[in-house]
Amino acid sequence: MKNVTVTMEDCVADWARLEAARRNTSVSRLVGEMLADKMRHDDAYERAMQDWLQRDLSFSSDGSPYPTRELSHGNRPDRLR
């Protein structure tokens, strides 16, 4: 593990101390866990985006036009206008 120095506003440091105490942990561990969560979230988002962008998005038909929105959704009484 690496030690780092973090500079933050007083109000942020106060919140971090209270939150760490509430979670029965240190401010250092709290910040480390928050950054690890952020890293996992960002990595998962990036993987999902890459998966989406690499999909085969070709749509094909037999030459006939695609159905219109009205035909697809119809006049459904459960939909708000």
Q: Is residue 17 part of a domain?
A: no
Q: Is residue 75 part of a domain?
A: no
Measured between alpha carbons, how far is 48 from 44 in angstroms, rounded to an integer?
6
- Tokens of residue 40, six digits: 């996992």
Q: Is residue 45 part of a domain?
A: yes
Residue 47's domain spans which residues?
29-53
Predicted structure pTM score: 0.58
Torsion angle of C-alpha atoms 6, 8, 13, 27, degrees rounded to 10:
-20
Domain count for the chain, please give it.
1
Q: Is residue 63 part of a domain?
A: no
pLDDT (tens digit per residue) in 15-74: 999 999 999 999 999 999 999 999 999 999 999 999 988 887 777 778 888 888 888 887
